[in-house]
């Protein structure tokens, strides 16, 4: 008996691509709640913890640099399958990890998998958008990644606190989820290889000149989101434990999940907001969130920490989805995978530098001093983004004003 699989429609492919993005962020966030446990068990410093965290974006950078344009040649589906496969293997590495070096390997595999999958999945969302709303793809990208991160924090926290094998069970969940998502991607329609018959080969990422101005604003927007996220994910668990005085990993994970819930809720509620307005307002809100983080570090107030989670999540969502919406409209289909990969390349570089810098400062000077140094630097990035986004918006509105005259 022959079993014939029914391929997904365009709508099914859209949601399968969203699942890939959610999985990438699930993989990224799954170890976050467990970092304090690893630190206690293996006597790891904040520097070691943040370098484990930063291994993910660093490897992802290398993969994006070398393979960033691969989905434009081999197709979105195959690139996503390769990425999801590596994420599945990373879960098995974490499950078997007997000491700290295995954590670096697991994070490296996660970074490689996300590097292959994230640009392809983002491009696939744009190309399979079943709605008349062109901003739905960027909104769902933000919502999908937020959902993946939220579930990772809550599920990992619950299993680590109350289930047996706390350092392994959450990664078994990641392995199973990776298998389910891989099946969903497999059911997407097969794509015709590059019609020009040119085999893929490593090549430098290039952004078409007409899209360069938008690319700069979009990249700064996503970079700001990732910089804020780096501070949150690399230091957030330690800050939460210090403020609450608890070692309950579900409580810590729940506190961290507040921010990602706000990211997803904002992306859904404000999905039709103008892209430039989203970026500008998001940059201003992010500055406010960083101010709350400073006050939280100085006062040790749990209420301010909760406010930071809420405000920081709203700011992250606005700049992230606004930046992606801008570049999605400006990029050409045949170069969309490479353009989005170039955007993620620079954004993850900012994330890696922020995470490592915050960890080194936290080890040497303490959490409060680390926040006092990193938060103003990220705020400078937010100010620059707000100014450039405003100028770009005015520049693009000028031809319309001239036509109206």
Least confident among 17-26, 27-36, 175-184, 198-207: 198-207
pLDDT (mean) for 177-197:
79
The verdict on residue 297 lying in a domain is: yes
The verdict on residue 2 lying in a domain is: no
The verdict on residue 197 lying in a domain is: no
The verdict on residue 205 lying in a domain is: no
Task: Specify the DSSP class assigned to residue 133.
Answer: -
Which positions ≥6 away from 203 have C-beta within 8 Å?
Answer: 69
Q: Looking at the predicted structure, is the pLDDT value of residue 202 above 70?
A: no
The verdict on residue 198 lying in a domain is: no
CATH number of the structural domain spanning residue 332: 1.20.1250.20
The verdict on residue 204 lying in a domain is: no
The verdict on residue 201 lying in a domain is: no
Question: What value does the mean pLDDT of the chain take?
Answer: 82
Name which residue leads in pLDDT, 297 or 287: 287
Please state, as a whole number, how many other Cβ atoms lie within 10 Å of the Cβ of residue 299. 13
Separation CA 333–CA 331 (nearest Å): 7
pLDDT given for residue 201 in this prediction? 64
Total number of domains in the chain: 1
Separation CA 226–CA 355 (nearest Å): 10
Q: pTM value?
A: 0.77
Separation CA 292–CA 219 (nearest Å): 25
The verdict on residue 5 lying in a domain is: no
pLDDT (mean) for 283-292:
93
Where in the sequence is the domain holding 182, given as residue range(s)? 10-190+210-404
């Amino acid at each position: 008996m022959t079993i014939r699989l029914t391929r997904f429609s365009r709508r099914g492919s859209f949601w399968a691509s969203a699942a890939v993005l959610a999985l990438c962020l699930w993989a990224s966030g799954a170890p976050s709640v467990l970092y304090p446990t690893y630190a206690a068990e293996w006597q790891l410093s904040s520097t070691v913890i943040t370098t484990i965290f930063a291994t993910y974006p660093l490897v992802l950078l290398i993969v994006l640099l070398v393979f960033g344009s691969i989905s434009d040649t081999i197709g979105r589906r195959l690139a996503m399958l390769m990425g999801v496969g590596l994420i599945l293997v990373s879960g098995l590495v974490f499950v078997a990890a007997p000491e700290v070096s295995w954590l670096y390997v697991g994070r490296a595999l996660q970074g490689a998998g996300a590097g292959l999958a994230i640009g392809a999945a983002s491009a696939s969302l744009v190309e399979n958008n079943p709605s008349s709303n062109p901003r739905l793809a960027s909104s769902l990208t933000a919502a999908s990644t937020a959902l993946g991160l939220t579930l990772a924090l809550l599920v990992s926290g619950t299993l680590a606190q109350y289930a047996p094998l706390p350092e392994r069970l959450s990664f078994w969940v990641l392995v199973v989820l990776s298998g389910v998502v891989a099946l969903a991607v497999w059911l997407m329609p097969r794509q015709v290889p590059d019609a020009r018959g040119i085999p893929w080969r490593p090549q430098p990422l290039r952004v078409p000149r007409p899209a360069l101005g938008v690319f700069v604003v979009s990249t700064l927007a996503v970079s700001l989101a990732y910089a804020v996220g780096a501070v949150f994910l690399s230091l957030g668990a330690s800050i939460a434990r210090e403020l609450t005085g608890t070692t309950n990993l579900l409580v810590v994970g729940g506190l961290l999940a507040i921010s990602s819930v706000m990211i997803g809720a904002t992306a859904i509620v404000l999905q039709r907001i103008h892209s430039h307005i989203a970026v500008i307002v998001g940059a201003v809100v992010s500055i406010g969130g960083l101010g709350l983080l400073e006050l939280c570090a100085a006062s040790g107030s749990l209420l301010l920490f909760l406010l930071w989670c809420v405000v920081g999540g709203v700011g992250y969502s606005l700049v992230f989805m606004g930046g992606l919406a801008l570049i999605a409209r400006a990029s050409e289909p045949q170069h969309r995978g490479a353009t989005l990969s170039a955007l993620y390349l620079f954004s993850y570089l900012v994330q890696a530098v922020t995470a490592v810098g915050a960890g080194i400062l936290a080890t040497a000077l303490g959490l409060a001093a680390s926040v006092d140094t990193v938060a103003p630097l990220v705020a400078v990035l937010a100010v620059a983004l707000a100014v450039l986004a405003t100028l770009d918006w005015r520049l693009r509105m000028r031809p319309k004003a001239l036509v109206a005259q």
